Amino acid sequence: MKPSSRVIVLIVSSMLGGCLLGPNYERPAIETPDSFRFAAQQSNEIANTAWWEQFQDPALNQLIAIALRENKDVKIAAARVDEFLGQFQVTRSQLFPQVGLGANAERERLPIGSAQLPPGVGTVINQYQLALNASWEIDVFGRLRRQTESARASLLASEEGRRATILSLVASVASTYITLVSLDRQLDIARATVKSRQESVIVFGLRFQYGEVSQMELAQSQSEYQAALATIPQLEQQIATQENALSILLGRNPQGIARDRELDDLATPQVPEGLPSELLTRRPDLRQAEQNLIAANAQIGAARALYFPSISLTGLFGTASTQFSQLFTGAARVWSFAGAVTQPIFTGGAISGQVKAAEAQQQQALFSYEKAIQVAFQDVDDSLITLTKSREARDVQGRQVDALRTYANLARLRYEGGYTSYIEVLDAERSLFQSQLSYTQTQAAALNAMVSLYKAMGGGWVAEAEQRTAVVYDTRGAVVKRDAKDEPSP
């Protein structure tokens, strides 16, 4: 075997079997509970479906579809994936030879008698050159491969960040919509109460004119009417604010939001189930935190590789001539190749500083990953207990509303019969009004707790949601463009 061939074989062997400095990533041991503290006794595996459709509200389904296509945060997250995809391609390209083509044409006048001129050559000379040049850094110690590993993990982390944005967006749209229909219901209650109390004020005004009631009773009736009337602009303000917030989630300017269902008409979704350990693969934010840990882990190896020599090859092949007509003749051929080895000797602690910084960043990413898992368990437990207790409170308050409605009717009958004062009627109606508003708020809280539970559990429904976006990315970060109404096309 020729010496040049042996060099090539050695280089290729180094590339294929070269060492990778730094620790290889291993998922850290995570202590997970056997079950959630407040797990529901009856649950169903529906975390991988489009759960928002269980509310059976076409308007909500349409709003979520619009938000997935038009929301600016989702578009920002998608653009961020494109950014990391570009950075990954740039980093990975350093593993391969860099080849370029150069062409040069030069015309130069030299003074007569110049030492650069051979005998018989005039003072004006031409120079033409066409050449391919190449350079290649031999990644013997794995610095470039570790950097590529880190860049790929960062790309996957950005993709999981995009999915986490979708998860939060769907939950936010559903929660805001539920709050909006809850405010609609409260406004209906307030208007009905105002209408009833207005009629009472008219009746008491007539009865006061004929001396059947005192001015104090008339003033009390007017006071309760004004108190109920004051709640209407407050609720209208909250409705407008919620509509504006929902418009921004839809990627639109503030505007009114159409509703198809009232609060009482919204169906109750089923409770999803799952084991705590499944959160590691279900929640995009946890997968994102793990990819950040992988990226930081790979940077340790890239930093340690700086201690070792950097080996590079350069080469050139082309033609050069003083006459363009002779540029492609055999005599005009030029070539060169060279190898270079660079070994740091003294850097004043620069390399050790980079290694320490990389190790510290890996520790930060590790602790962030562990904390994210703990917070995920907390989110699920909080959502489960909120769901359970808000449903209990809703049922209790529903019975309270029924009892107060009966109490108010009986108090008015007793007052009309002369058995009690009007104070008792006012107290009963005031309690009923406040209880109706509280009951409506608790209804919304129970539904929003279900939304929070689906968000906390994560699940395959995120993939179901992202299929409804205008642009879809696969697990490698490749873009799959599609129309919002069509199936994804490769």
Could you tell me if residue 12 is inside a domain?
A: no
Pick from 342, 363, 398: which residue ends a domain?
342
Q: What confidence score (pLDDT) does residue 477 get?
A: 42
The number of C-alpha atoms within 13 Å of 175 and in the hemisphere containing its C-beta is: 17
Q: Which of 473, 373, 276 is nearest to 27 (CA)?
A: 373
**One domain for residues 117 and 258:** no
Backbone angles phi, psi at 190, to 5 degrees: -65, -45
H or E element at residue 400: helix 350-416
Q: What is the pLDDT of residue 34?
A: 66
One domain, residues 164 and 256: yes
CATH number of the domain at 382, please.
1.20.1600.10
User: Rounded CA gap, 194 and 209, in Å?
Assistant: 22
Predicted pLDDT of residue 92? 92
Does some domain include residue 439? yes
3-state secondary structure 67-120: HHHHCHHHHHHHHHHHHHHHHHHHHHHCCCCEEEEEEEEEEEECCCCCCCCCCC
The CA distances from residue 93 to 88, 151, 209, 308, 372, in Å, are 8, 12, 93, 21, 33
Asked, for residue 447, whether it belongs to a domain, the answer is yes
Which ranges of 210-334 would DSSP assign to H, the alpha helix?
215-249, 279-282, 284-304
| pLDDT the model gives residue 475 | 41
417 and 318 inside one domain: no
Q: Is residue 212 part of a domain?
A: yes
Same domain for 134 and 146, yes or no, is no
In a domain, 192, yes or no: yes
Task: Look at residue 448 and tell me if it is in a domain.
Answer: yes
What does the alpha-carbon distance between residue 333 and residue 321 come to, in Å, rounded to a whole number?
9
Residue 5 Cα distances to 1, 8, 465, angstroms: 6, 5, 55
322 and 297 co-located in one domain: no
Assess whether 201 and 228 both reside in one domain: yes
Q: Which positions ≥6 away from 52 have C-beta within 8 Å?
A: 60, 61, 64, 170, 174, 269
Task: Compute φ and ψ for 135, nearest 5 degrees.
Answer: -140, 150
47 shares its domain with 166: yes
Whether residues 297 and 335 fall in one domain: no
In this structure, are residues 88 and 154 in contact, taking their beta carbons and an 8 Å threshold?
A: yes
**Same domain as 450, residue 431:** yes
The CA distances from residue 246 to 256, 268, 419, in Å, are 9, 21, 51
In this predicted structure, what is the pLDDT of residue 482?
42
104, 184: one domain: no
On whether both 50 and 121 belong to a single domain, the answer is no
pLDDT tens, the chain, 490 aa long: 444 444 444 444 444 445 788 888 888 887 776 666 655 544 445 556 788 989 999 999 999 999 999 999 999 999 999 999 999 999 999 999 999 999 888 887 766 656 666 665 557 778 888 888 999 988 888 889 999 999 999 999 999 999 999 999 999 999 999 999 999 999 999 999 999 889 888 988 888 888 888 888 889 888 989 999 999 999 999 999 999 999 999 999 999 999 988 999 999 888 877 666 777 778 899 999 999 999 999 999 989 988 888 889 898 888 887 777 777 777 778 888 898 888 888 888 998 999 999 999 999 999 999 999 999 888 988 998 999 999 999 999 999 999 999 999 998 888 888 887 788 888 898 999 999 999 999 999 999 999 998 888 887 788 777 777 655 444 444 444 444 333 333 2
For the chain, how many structural domains are there in total? Answer: 2
Per-residue model confidence (pLDDT) at position 8: 45
Which of 127, 462, 130 is CA-nearest to residue 281? 462
With vertex at residue 275, the alpha carbon angle to CA 273 and CA 281, rounded to the nearest 5 degrees, is: 100
Question: Does residue 301 share a domain with residue 165?
Answer: yes
Phi-psi category of residue 112: left, alpha or beta, with phi > 0 → left and psi -120 to 50 → alpha: beta
Looking at residue 474, its pLDDT comes to 47
**How far apart, in whole angstroms, are the C-alpha atoms of residue 191 and residue 202?**
16
| pLDDT confidence of residue 16 | 46
* Domain interval for residue 286: 18-95+139-308+352-477
| 486 within domain boundaries | no
Chain centre to alpha carbon of residue 191: 40
Q: Read off φ and ψ for residue 39, nearest 5 degrees.
A: -65, 140
Which pair of structure tokens corresponds to residue 292?
């950040």
For residue 4, being part of any structural domain is answered with: no
CATH number of the domain that residue 120 is part of:
2.20.200.10
**Alpha-carbon distance 99 to 135, whole Å?**
7
- Separation between Cα atoms, residue 85 and residue 283, nearest integer Å: 22
